[in-house]
Amino acid sequence: MGQVALRGVSKHFGAVEAVRDFDLEVEDQEFLVLLGPSGCGKSTVLRIIAGLEDPDRGTVVIGDRAVNDVEPKDRDIAMVFQNYALYPHMTVGRNIDFPLKCRGMPKPERAGLVASAAEALGLTTLLDRRPAQLSGGQRQRVALARAIVRRPQVFLMDEPLSNLDAKLRVQTRTELIELQRRLTTTFVYVTHDQIEGMTMADRLAVMNEGALEQVAPPAEVYAHPASLFVARFIGSPPMNTVTGTPARLDGELGIGTSGGQIPLSPAQRQAVEASAATTIAVGMRPERLTIGTTGPLPATVAVVESLGAEHHVICRLTDDQEVIVRIGTDAAVPEEGAAVRLDFGVEHLHLFDATTGDRIGR
Ligand SMILES: Nc1ncnc2c1ncn2[C@@H]1O[C@H](COP(=O)(O)OP(=O)(O)OP(=O)(O)O)[C@@H](O)[C@H]1O
Ligand SMILES: [Mg+2]
């Protein structure tokens, strides 16, 4: 069984705490995406699972055994790196065959495995070429074929698509998802690309500065980000946040900001009252805002960016904070400079303690 667990894992490099108190359980056959900004520790987590780095503390489990003292080659994993490092002097076929040969498997047995890995990745007609005679996407697929040929329990992938161009990335992304469904193998996949994370993951593990912020299915992470960091990291354009303090207007508890009073639902009022937060960041997704003549937040339209399939309207609140509104091409486009009001359903607001970054309420 290909489950992976990290329990209480930490890793320092000198003064840098690359991984902090990490607890993560990856289920058998799950596609788990480790997502976070550059330098947050994603590769270090992957290298700890692979056995290429030793943790300072904590236990690493693969399948049903602790592997802290197991050599990388005996962990039943395969790792694909960003720079897939094919052997330039070997043909595609020999590159794919290499891990089997290293294990001393007899040739006839190897030939069948190489053929089926090549078939799975659409490389059958390219087996006699050398890496230099392939496109970037084809080379990437050879690296993947070389990883799957041994049928390990777990695949570890570190930004395997990052050096492909945009179109090829999308295509290879789809192929990888299909491959994972067919192979029924556990994937731990590292990326800093939120689109990759959102589209590929069964569950996303969002990391920041060496620690896990949230582990949940992509839709849950988007709808209920557990922290201000996750809220701002997932979504494009990013979630707007307006900072204010709990305040009563006509007896009703809301969030008073210098750009206007933001109303709350009864459940949100309860959550705000129950929390110790004194400063609150109110999050609003750009697609959940509407521009019109009514609504709690007066604003001026600063710039309209047209992207073809949608418009991004950048509005300025009365206190100069910027808020981005995303509207479809069917909607009326407001004039730049127009005085408008921003409206939203309170059920779409996200509340965070601005000091700790923790989510308030569901
Ligand atoms: N061998 C090392 N020696 C010293 N510091 C290291 C070493 N490896 C990683 N670090 C530091 O640990 C932190 C985490 O690095 P890591 O490579 O895991 O980040 P990452 O999330 O994979 O980033 P990226 O998206 O840029 O690949 C960084 O601050 C990095 O500089
Ligand atoms: Mg990395």
From the list 315, 199, 220, the residue with the least C-alpha distance to 260 is: 315
Tell me, yes or no, whether 257 lies in a domain: yes
Residue listed under structure tokens 């995303």: 326
The total number of structural domains that make up the chain: 2
Tell me, yes or no, whether 359 lies in a domain: no
Tell me, yes or no, whether 278 lies in a domain: yes
Q: What is the pLDDT of residues 9-59, one digit of tens each?
A: 999 999 999 999 999 999 999 999 999 999 999 999 999 999 999 999 999
Longest CA span, the chain: 82
Tell me, yes or no, whether 362 lies in a domain: no
Single pTM value for the model: 0.91
Q: Are 149 and 258 part of one and the same domain?
A: no
Q: 303, 324 in Cβ contact below 8 A? A: no
Domain finish residue from 232, 267, 287: 232
Token pair recorded at residue 307: 């992207």
From the list 96, 79, 241, the residue with the least C-alpha distance to 155 is: 79
Cβ neighbours of residue 7 under 8 Å, at least 6 residues apart? 23, 58, 59, 61
CATH number at residue 328: 2.40.50.140
Residue listed under structure tokens 């161009």: 165
CA–CA dist 234, 266 (Å, integer) = 27
Separation of 208 CA from ligand 1 center, angstroms?
12
Q: Are 82 and 178 part of one and the same domain?
A: yes
Q: 295, 341 in Cβ contact below 8 A? A: yes
Residue type, 343: D
Choose one of 40, 47, 158 to mutate for the ligand 1 pocket test, by most ligand atoms within 8 angstroms of C-beta: 40
pLDDT tier, 113 (very low <50, low <70, confident <90, very high otherwise)? very high
Q: Are 290 and 180 part of one and the same domain?
A: no
Q: Are 228 and 247 part of one and the same domain?
A: no
Instruction: Give the position, in ligand 1's atom list, of the atom nearest the Cα of 207.
Output: 21
Separation of 332 CA from ligand 1 center, angstroms?
46
Q: Are 305 and 195 part of one and the same domain?
A: no
Q: Are 63 and 190 part of one and the same domain?
A: yes
> Is the distance from the beta carbon of residue 294 to the nearest atom of ligand 1 less than 6 Å?
no
Q: 235, 222 in Cβ contact below 8 A? A: yes
Choose one of 43, 79, 190 to mutate for the ligand 1 pocket test, by most ligand atoms within 8 angstroms of C-beta: 43
Q: Are 141 and 42 part of one and the same domain?
A: yes
Residue type, 213: E
Q: What is the pLDDT of residues 284-343, one digit of tens each?
A: 999 999 999 999 999 999 999 999 899 999 999 999 999 999 999 888 899 999 999 999
Domain finish residue from 186, 208, 232: 232
Question: What does the pLDDT read at residue 85?
Answer: 80
Residue type, 80: V
Residue with the smallest CA separation from ligand 1 atom 13 is 18
Question: What does the pLDDT read at residue 121?
Answer: 84
Choose one of 10, 44, 82 to mutate for the ligand 1 pocket test, by most ligand atoms within 8 angstroms of C-beta: 44
- Is the pLDDT reported for residue 189 higher than 90? yes
Tell me, yes or no, whether 311 lies in a domain: yes
> Is the distance from the beta carbon of residue 194 to the nearest atom of ligand 1 less than 6 Å?
no
Residues with CB under 5 A from ligand 2 (ion): 43
Tell me, yes or no, whether 274 lies in a domain: yes
Q: Are 302 and 193 part of one and the same domain?
A: no
The ligand placed nearest to the CA atom of residue 206 is: 1
**Vertex 268 angle, CA 203 and 292, to 5°:** 90
Residue 148 has, within 13 A of its CA and on its CB side, a CA count of 22
Residue numbers of the domain that contains 282? 238-353
Q: 231, 60 in Cβ contact below 8 A? A: no
Token pair recorded at residue 23: 């607890």
Question: What does the pLDDT read at residue 170?
Answer: 86
Q: What is the pLDDT of residues 171-182, one digit of tens each?
A: 888 888 888 888
Average pLDDT over residues 183-193: 91
Domain finish residue from 204, 232, 260: 232
- Is the pLDDT reported for residue 4 higher than 90? yes
Instruction: Give the position, in ligand 1's atom list, of the atom nearest the Cα of 19.
Output: 14
Residue with the bigger pLDDT between 82 and 100: it is 100
Q: Are 192 and 280 part of one and the same domain?
A: no
> Is the distance from the beta carbon of residue 40 to the nearest atom of ligand 1 less than 6 Å?
yes
Tell me, yes or no, whether 360 lies in a domain: no
Q: Are 183 and 102 part of one and the same domain?
A: yes
Separation of 159 CA from ligand 2 center, angstroms?
7
CATH number at residue 188: 3.40.50.300
**Vertex 34 angle, CA 30 and 39, to 5°:** 165
Q: What is the pLDDT of residues 114-171, one digit of tens each?
A: 999 998 888 999 999 999 999 888 888 899 899 889 888 899 999 988 877 888 788 8
Q: 62, 25 in Cβ contact below 8 A? A: no
Q: What is the pLDDT of residues 238-288, one digit of tens each?
A: 999 999 999 998 889 999 998 899 999 999 999 999 999 999 999 999 999
Q: Are 81 and 193 part of one and the same domain?
A: yes
Residue with the smallest CA separation from ligand 1 atom 26 is 38
- Is the pLDDT reported for residue 82 higher than 80? no
Q: Are 144 and 24 part of one and the same domain?
A: yes
Separation of 41 CA from ligand 1 center, angstroms?
6
CA–CA dist 333, 11 (Å, integer) = 51
Residue with the smallest CA separation from ligand 1 atom 6 is 13
Tell me, yes or no, whether 358 lies in a domain: no
